[in-house]
């Protein structure tokens, strides 16, 4: 069925409401119609995610209903009396989508636990296991702009659905070939059938107790937390209450919140791109810092699974750290603190994604800890934690990805900005007790382990034509050997779709033991590298660049050279 047929089907359907039909009927731009209907939303690295609006390639109650009906069919086929937990963030339509998903699950006789108010994604992950559910749903588009929302599905282990399960659910979703097959009942019917339960405080309180138990230098925190000066911004999202609560309960009394960004607001008026990866979101916090002089500034994204940190660089100056820098700092802090407490396990492991900094490798080597790599997407980290739980081969210590996602502890199976906020503050407090800022601690790591610097280049290519350009460019690079990037020789090429890593000098190949994914990685002589992949959540091609050097000046120069050369090469591929 082509996009015109789908468009006509929606206009003529007896299920589609008149307001939606009017919205569609008023469309005059053929490209807009094509973009809304040329495909159905698919599960990517972040699940189902798209622009809010009418159409099969948009997020609305009909695409939510179709996805939930497919999920219901999957669960009822696979389990006896399954149950599902649902959470949502502050985005437009989040509560409405969550309620409609609940009504559809209940319409399929599935016990549903719906959070009473907006709730961070990691707490939903915890709730799935706490409640003994077979699945979880969180309505969020994470850090995307305000036009977006999303629908992330979690398995019974509390982790995002990985490839096999996501494929099975998607098959069930695709089998729902008409909206007439979606069974939804009223809220009153849900309650009368005893299928809907609202949840909240019990889950929050038990989660926070487990989170607080992850503090490592407990005496330091107990005695000195009150001395740390913190500015926090929830960026109009769901982190406001749990982040402040966990810090307060640990004794961090000297905390100020950015008032303009405190309350939930799906328009994100002070941060159009509500992502702590973007330094601009900290503008208001930095203005507060001029008077307050905090030791640390932290900010969480709308669903509170990502966190950014801003640290003192000099007298009155602050620097926004990258996700990789925070990952390296936390990795070193956790390992050194565990060793100091004689709690460092011999089989401990840190998990990172293939696009995250390699700086962690020499740090882990110093402490005799294994580093494991997974594909981009925290769901793969969660999956590996589950494997550790089953096999006991390794003990999970820390997981991170370059896009500001971190996790300690195994009771959550997704990145967790509540836990990360707590650990970042503890780490800052520790270095303050030693007379150092977090920035000075980072410089110490560079001096000891070498200089590593990374960057991300995003190329936006919207619509069907844009997706085709991205696919064509990556296929071209797959079938072409790049021998040099400026003055740097390419020594190894990883093709994660073909599961092959090849030495360019002699053609030797080895199998990549990771799930297949449309990702290419090129390793340069000296240890620098770059990775190219399509985004799983936005119409973008993403290029990750990593450089190494012996000094800060050298690594920055190397990074700049590689960025320019790779960007030029890619621009020629997509023309």
Neighbour tally for 437: CB within 10 Å: 19
pLDDT of residue 249: 98
pLDDT of residue 7: 95
- Contact predicate 336/367, CB 8 Å: yes
Cα–Cα distance for residue pair 462/464, rounded to 1 Å = 7
- Contact predicate 250/422, CB 8 Å: yes
pLDDT tens sequence across 245-279 = 999 999 999 999 999 999 999 999 999 999 999 99
Please check whether the two domains, 41-199 and 207-449, share a CATH topology.
Answer: yes
- Domain range 207-449, CATH class: alpha beta
**Structure token pair of residue 72:** 């219901």
Q: Where are the domains of the chain?
A: 1-38, 41-199, 207-449, 452-573
Cα–Cα distance for residue pair 364/335, rounded to 1 Å = 8
Cα–Cα distance for residue pair 290/158, rounded to 1 Å = 41
Average pLDDT, the chain: 95
pLDDT of residue 46: 56
- CA contacts within 13 A on the Cβ side of 412: 31
pLDDT tens sequence across 415-443 = 999 999 999 999 999 999 999 999 999 99
Helix (H, G, I), strand (E, B) or coil at 212: helix
| First-to-final CA distance of the chain | 29
Q: Assign a CATH topology to domain 452-573.
A: TATA-Binding Protein (3.30.310)
**Structure token pair of residue 299:** 């900010």
Cα–Cα distance for residue pair 151/43, rounded to 1 Å = 9
Cα–Cα distance for residue pair 250/225, rounded to 1 Å = 7
Q: Can you give the pLDDT of all 575 residues of the chain as single tens digits?
A: 899 999 999 999 999 999 999 999 999 999 999 999 998 887 655 568 899 999 999 999 999 999 999 999 999 999 999 999 999 999 999 999 999 999 999 999 999 999 999 999 999 999 999 999 999 999 999 888 999 999 999 999 999 998 888 889 988 988 998 889 999 999 999 999 999 999 999 999 999 999 999 999 999 999 999 999 999 999 999 999 999 999 999 999 999 999 999 999 999 999 999 999 999 999 999 999 999 999 999 999 999 999 999 999 977 799 999 999 999 999 999 999 999 999 999 999 999 999 999 999 999 999 999 999 999 989 999 999 999 999 999 999 999 999 999 999 999 999 999 999 999 999 999 999 999 999 999 999 999 999 999 999 999 888 888 888 898 889 999 998 889 999 999 999 999 999 999 999 999 999 999 999 999 999 999 999 999 999 877 788 999 999 999 999 999 999 999 999 999 988 888 87
pLDDT tens sequence across 36-56 = 999 888 765 556 889 999 999
CA angle 384, 521, 373 (to 5 degrees): 20
Q: Does domain 41-199 have CATH number 3.40.120.10?
A: yes
pLDDT of residue 178: 87
Neighbour tally for 492: CB within 10 Å: 17
Kindly name the residue from 72, 83, 142, 356 that is annotated as catalytic.
142
pLDDT of residue 384: 96
**Structure token pair of residue 364:** 């882990």
Q: Is 142 a catalytic residue?
A: yes
């Amino acid at each position: 069925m082509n996009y015109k047929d789908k468009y006509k089907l929606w206009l003529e359907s007896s299920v589609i409401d008149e307001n939606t039909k009017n919205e569609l009927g008023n469309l005059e731009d053929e490209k807009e119609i094509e973009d809304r209907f040329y495909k159905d939303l698919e599960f990517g690295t972040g699940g189902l995610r798209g622009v809010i609006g009418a159409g099969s390639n948009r997020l609305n109650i009909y695409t939510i209903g179709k996805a939930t009906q497919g999920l219901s069919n999957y669960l009822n086929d696979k389990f006896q009396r399954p149950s599902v937990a649902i959470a949502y963030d502050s985005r437009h339509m989040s509560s409405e989508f969550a309620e409609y998903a609940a009504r559809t699950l209940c319409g399929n006789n599935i016990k549903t636990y719906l959070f009473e108010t907006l709730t961070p994604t990691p707490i939903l992950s915890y709730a799935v296991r706490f409640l003994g559910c077979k699945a979880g749903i969180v309505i969020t588009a994470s850090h995307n702009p305000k036009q977006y929302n999303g629908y992330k599905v979690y398995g019974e282990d509390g982790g995002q659905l990985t490839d096999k399960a996501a494929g099975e659910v998607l098959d069930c979703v695709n089998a729902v070939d008409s909206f007439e097959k979606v069974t939804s009942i009223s809220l009153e019917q849900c309650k009368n059938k005893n299928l809907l339960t609202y949840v909240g405080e019990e889950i929050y309180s038990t989660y926070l107790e487990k989170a607080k138990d992850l503090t490592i230098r407990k005496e330091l925190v107990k005695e000195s937390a009150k001395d740390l000066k913190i500015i926090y911004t929830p960026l109009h999202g769901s982190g406001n209450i749990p982040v402040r609560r966990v810090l307060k309960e640990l004794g961090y009394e000297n905390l100020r919140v950015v008032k303009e960004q405190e309350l939930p607001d799906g328009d994100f008026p002070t941060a159009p791109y509500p992502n702590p990866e973007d330094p601009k979101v900290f503008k208001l916090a930095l203005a507060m810092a001029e008077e307050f002089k905090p030791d640390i500034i932290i900010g969480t994204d709308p669903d509170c699974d990502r966190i950014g940190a801003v640290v003192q660089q000099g007298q009155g100056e602050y620097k926004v750290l990258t996700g990789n820098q925070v990952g390296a700092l936390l990795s070193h802090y956790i390992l050194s603190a565990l060793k100091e407490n004689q709690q460092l396990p011999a089989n401990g492991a840190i998990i990172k994604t293939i696009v995250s900094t390699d700086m962690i490798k020499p740090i882990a080597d110093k402490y005799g800890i294994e580093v494991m790599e997974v594909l981009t997407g925290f769901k793969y980290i969660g999956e590996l934690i589950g494997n550790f739980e089953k096999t006991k081969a390794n003990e999970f210590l820390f997981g991170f990805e370059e896009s500001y996602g971190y996790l300690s502890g195994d009771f959550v199976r997704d990145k967790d900005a509540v836990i990360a906020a707590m650990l970042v503050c503890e780490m800052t407090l520790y270095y303050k007790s030693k007379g150092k800022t977090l920035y000075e601690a980072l410089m110490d790591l560079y001096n000891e382990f070498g200089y590593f610097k990374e960057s991300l280049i995003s190329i936006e290519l919207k619509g069907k034509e844009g997706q085709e350009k991205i696919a064509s460019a990556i296929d071209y690079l797959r079938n072409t050997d790049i021998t040099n990037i400026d003055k740097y020789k390419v020594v190894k090429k990883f093709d994660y779709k073909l599961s092959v890593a090849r030495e360019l000098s002699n053609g030797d190949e080895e199998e990549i033991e990771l799930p297949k994914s449309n990702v290419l990685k090129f390793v340069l002589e000296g240890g620098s590298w770059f990775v190219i992949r399509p985004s799983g959540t936005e119409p973008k091609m993403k290029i990750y660049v990593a450089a190494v050097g012996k000094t800060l000046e050298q690594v920055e120069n190397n990074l700049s050279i590689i960025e320019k050369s790779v960007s030029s090469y890619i621009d020629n591929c997509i023309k």
